Amino acid sequence: MSNTLFWVANILIAWSLCIVLITLVRKPTDIRYTFLNLFRHRRRSAVTLLAITLGGVAVFIFGGFVDYSFYALREQTIRTNLGHIQIYQQGYMANGNSRSLQFTIKDYDSVKATLLADPFITEQTKTITGQLEFSGIISQYDKGVSTFFAGVGIEPQTSLLLGALDSIISGSDLSAVKPLNITLGSGVSSMLSAGYDEWTDLLVVNPEGGQNAMSAQVRGVFRSGIKDYDDTAVKIPLVTAQHLLQTQDVSKIILLLQDTRQTQAVLERVRALIKENNLPLEAHSWDELAIFYHQVVNLFEGIFLFIKTIVSIIVVFMIGNTLMMNVIERTREIATLRALGLSKAYIGRLFILEGIIIGIIGAILSVGSGLIVAMIININGVPMPPSPGYTRGYLAFVMWDRDMHLFWFSCALPLVTALIASIIPSRRAANLVIAEAFRFV
Amino acid sequence: MLNKTPLLLVLWLALTGTARAEQESLDNWLAPLAEKNATARALLMMKDKRDTGQLTHAVSLLQQRLIASPEDRTAKMFYGYGQLFLAGDYMLKKNYMRAAELSKQGYYAIDEAAEQEPENTLLLYLRARMNAFVPAESGRCVVANKDLNALQSPTLPISLTPMLTLMRARAAMSCNQPEKAAQAWNALRTMGAAGAPLYRIQSGTSPGWTSGEILDVLMPLLEAQP
């Protein structure tokens, strides 16, 4: 649907520009008359242009804001331990992640070495790290409190970039030097009343079904901003988690890339490597795993479509009204032109041309003003409340330099709506009965 | 979503300047070492935290040093410092993603340098010096407090006492411990001429290296480098 609209709009824009160019070459005086007619009532034309420009600027700014929000949410999702590409043991996803310790990768080191041996993957990748997922009960016996947790064994150094947006709110990140130190999500920390340097006890069930326990010191408390995650997450050094669960395996291998746009290319290469080496693994991109991200994106896209529709309707009415007033005011003038022998099509084209010209001026003003407003907003950003499911707000910016569609839409909206709005007035002007038009007061 | 607040902690780092007299003192002491010692050279380059080119050069110099000599904890400590300064620079450029990555890596390097050699009180001092002055939002005051408690033993030279007291005051303020902070401020006030210049630094940027720090912390560490 949106693709069809895109092409229809492109055809209308091309047609409009052709009309202007042809008129400019064949009858340049018509362009001059168009401008003179448009600015016969300067105040009315200025109000119309203002309405078009405000609409265009609103769409430009909101589009840039949505683009930034999508970008920020995407990178936040990726850098909250999801990564760009995840590699699992075959069958892990089919089992709905419910038996994560039964579907582990046995030879993590050799798989990592295979990936790093590929020059394309190495060039595109920031970090490759293994993680071991498990769950259990964490307690502070002194205070008589305990809670369930979703644990993840991570490599302290390679996971720094992967969890770059998990802010430490007290203490430090995990350390390779102190393997018995762990970090807690802010929710877990609150539930246990356990802060920096305090000791906790972890109770887990290993892959064979046996129980194991260990004491660990809290090294830091982190907050990702995602409440559900912060309420259950506990990070432990990978070697410690493997020791606790009596395994050498990892649940998944995560690749964080230099650039999100390279995800598909690297994913294809990883899949090819898995096939070449007959590895019992499966690779998935962040796009397949980030369900929440897609839900938020769909919500925003729905809102954006609604706003675009409202703005388009307002612009159509404003331009339509201006041109209709022009037709009414110039009824006798049109009758004179018709009496002099000008065709209906020619009269109609004059009004269409007025619509196109006002649309072009509106497009230029929309993009120009939009850029100025965006630059002003981007000096300090706009504080926003938390998104659905998040616990902290963020600073929003207008991202206008990475999406050509934003410019296209800000130009297309005034131009196409102006063209559509000029159809009825032009038909009315063209179909005036000459004798009646002369009697019009 | 990308949150600016926790990243603000590194913003001040790019803005902290060093007084001219202190810079000259640092120059006088480190310049003779700088020819042969990459860490000293990097430290001199990091004097002006607003000079991105010099900062980047200093960090890459320290990175090369660490590749050649991974056991050099002093280089690792200042590599961490450099990354935090760079994070502040990226923060100013509104590249929050890179700023977040660099600040994580910076603190990690600082922690690792201090924890790999826990008996080295000078490294612990340098970690505490960074953590005591970063904004409270960073949550590093708890680490500073722990380090400062460990530094209470009389193994450190007396010349460092005023700065240690200032660090205690600032860390206590960040950790919302007003009584402890008031005690430290009082102690600093009663130190007379030694404490007076530091007493004025009740908030904001960290002071430049004092001559006591240069002589009793930086020089011994740099001269003892492998």
User: For the segment A247-259, what is each residue's pLDDT rounded down to a tens digit?
Assistant: 889 999 999 999 9
B141/B70 same-domain check: no
ipTM: 0.85
- Domain count of the fold of chain B: 2
- Domain count of the fold of chain A: 2
The residue among B198 and A20 whose pLDDT is bigger is A20
A130/A265 same-domain check: yes
Query: Quick one: which of A188, A210, A208 has its CA closest to A200?
Result: A188
DSSP string, A100-156: TTTS-BS-HHHHHHHHHH-HHHHHHEEEEEEEEEEEEEEEETTTTEEEEEEEEEE-T
pLDDT at A93: 77
A237/A356 same-domain check: no
Percent of chain B with pLDDT over 70: 87
B19/B71 same-domain check: yes
B74/B37 same-domain check: yes
The boundaries of the domain holding residue A266 are 91-279
Q: Is residue A158 part of a domain?
A: yes
Interface touch B1/A69, C-beta < 8 Å? yes
**Could you tell me if B202 lies within 8 Å of chain A, comparing CB atoms?**
no
SS3 of residue A219 by DSSP: strand
A392/A331 same-domain check: yes
**Among A200-209, A329-338, B40-49, B60-69, where is mean pLDDT lowest?**
A329-338
Interface touch B104/A164, C-beta < 8 Å? yes
B96/B127 same-domain check: no
B95/B160 same-domain check: no
A192/A130 same-domain check: yes
**Could you tell me if B116 lies within 8 Å of chain A, comparing CB atoms?**
yes
A123/A227 same-domain check: yes
A250/A314 same-domain check: no
Q: Is residue A83 part of a domain?
A: no
Asked if the model's pLDDT at residue B5 lies above 60, the reply is no
pLDDT at B169: 93
A328/A401 same-domain check: yes
Q: Cα separation of B217 and A312, whole Å?
A: 68
Close Cβ partners of A145 (under 8 Å, ≥ 6 residues apart): A139, A191, A192, A193
Residue A80 DSSP label: I
Asked if the model's pLDDT at residue B132 lies above 60, the reply is yes
pLDDT at B20: 55
A-side interface with B, Cβ within 8 Å? Answer: 69, 72-73, 75-76, 79, 156-157, 160-161, 163-165, 167-173, 175-178, 195-197, 220-221, 223, 225, 378, 381, 384, 386-387, 390, 392-395, 397
Chain mean position to CA A57: 19
Q: Is residue B56 part of a domain?
A: yes
Residue of A nearest to B139 (CA): A170
**Among A41-45, A403-407, B73-77, B88-92, where is mean pLDDT lowest?**
A41-45
pLDDT at B23: 63
Start-to-end C-alpha separation, chain A = 46
Q: Is residue A288 part of a domain?
A: no
CB nearest B1 (choices: A175, A225, A378): A225
B143/B180 same-domain check: yes
A234/A366 same-domain check: no
Q: Cα separation of B85 and B66, whole Å?
A: 18
Summary mean pLDDT of chain A: 87
* Best residue of A196, A217, A222, A227 to probe chain B, by most B CBs closer than 10 Å: A196
Q: Is residue B93 part of a domain?
A: yes
Q: Is residue B224 part of a domain?
A: no
pLDDT at B13: 47
SS3 of residue B2 by DSSP: coil
Q: Is residue B102 part of a domain?
A: yes
Query: Quick one: which of A86, A95, A90 has its CA closest to A278?
Result: A90
Interface touch A394/B2, C-beta < 8 Å? yes
Q: Cα separation of B160 and B139, whole Å?
A: 24
> Which one of B60, B82, B117 terminates a domain?
B117
The alpha-carbon radius of gyration of chain B (Å, integer) is: 17
Q: Is residue A162 part of a domain?
A: yes
Q: Token pair 């700014």 is at which residue?
A: A61
B96/B178 same-domain check: no
A182/A235 same-domain check: yes
A369/A226 same-domain check: no
B165/B82 same-domain check: no
> Which one of B117, B135, B153 terminates a domain?
B117
Cβ contacts of A400 on chain B, cutoff 8 Å: none
B93/B4 same-domain check: yes
Q: Cα separation of B117 and A438, whole Å?
A: 100
Cβ contact A178:B115 at 8 Å: yes
Kindly report each contact of residues A70-76 with a partner whose C-beta sits within 8 Å and lies 24 or more positions away, as own/partner: A70/A297, A70/A300, A71/A399, A71/A402, A72/A394, A72/A396, A72/B1, A72/B2, A73/A293, A73/A296, A73/A297, A73/A387, A73/B1, A74/A260, A74/A290, A74/A293, A75/A165, A75/A260, A75/B2, A75/B97, A76/A165, A76/A225, A76/B1, A76/B2
A253/A120 same-domain check: yes
Let me know if B20 is exposed, middle or buried by CB neighbors in 10 A (0-12, 13-18, 19+): exposed
Q: Is residue A85 part of a domain?
A: no
pLDDT at B12: 46
Close Cβ partners of B183 (under 8 Å, ≥ 6 residues apart): none
Which residue type sits at B126? L
> Which one of A225, A249, A279 terminates a domain?
A279
Asked if the model's pLDDT at residue A420 lies above 90, the reply is no
A383/A236 same-domain check: no
Cβ contacts of B137 on chain A, cutoff 8 Å: 169
Q: Is residue A287 part of a domain?
A: no
Question: Phi and psi at residue A294, in whole multiples of 5°?
Answer: -65, -35
Q: Is residue A44 part of a domain?
A: yes
pLDDT band at B24 (very low <50, low <70, confident <90, very high): low
DSSP string, A354-409: HHHHHHHHHHHHHHHHHHHHHHHHHHH-EEEPPPTTBSS-EEE----SS-HHHHHH
Percent of chain A with pLDDT over 70: 97
Asked if the model's pLDDT at residue B109 lies above 90, the reply is yes
Q: Cα separation of A196 and B157, whole Å?
A: 29
Q: Token pair 């407003």 is at which residue?
A: A373
Close Cβ partners of A339 (under 8 Å, ≥ 6 residues apart): A434, A438
> Which one of A228, A248, A279 terminates a domain?
A279
Q: Cα separation of B190 and A98, whole Å?
A: 63
CB nearest A172 (choices: B1, B105, B111): B111
**Among B8-12, B116-120, B132-136, B148-152, where is mean pLDDT lowest?**
B8-12
Q: Token pair 């259990």 is at which residue?
A: A136
- The whole-model pTM stands at 0.80
Asked if the model's pLDDT at residue B88 lies above 50, the reply is yes
> Which one of B96, B117, B138 terminates a domain?
B117
The boundaries of the domain holding residue B202 are 119-214
SS3 of residue A240 by DSSP: helix
> CA of A188, closest CA in chain B: separation in Å?
17
**Could you tell me if B1 lies within 8 Å of chain A, comparing CB atoms?**
yes
Interface touch A169/B6, C-beta < 8 Å? yes
Residue A47 φ/ψ region, left for φ over 0, alpha for ψ in the -120 to 50 degree band, beta for the rest = alpha
Secondary structure element (H or E) that encloses residue B217, with its range: none
Q: Which residues pair with A139 in a beta bridge?
A: A146, A201
> Which one of A279, A313, A331 terminates a domain?
A279
**Could you tell me if B97 lies within 8 Å of chain A, comparing CB atoms?**
yes
B24/B106 same-domain check: yes
Interface touch A395/B2, C-beta < 8 Å? yes
B179/B104 same-domain check: no
DSSP string, B125-149: HHHHHHHHHS-GGG-THHHHHHHHH
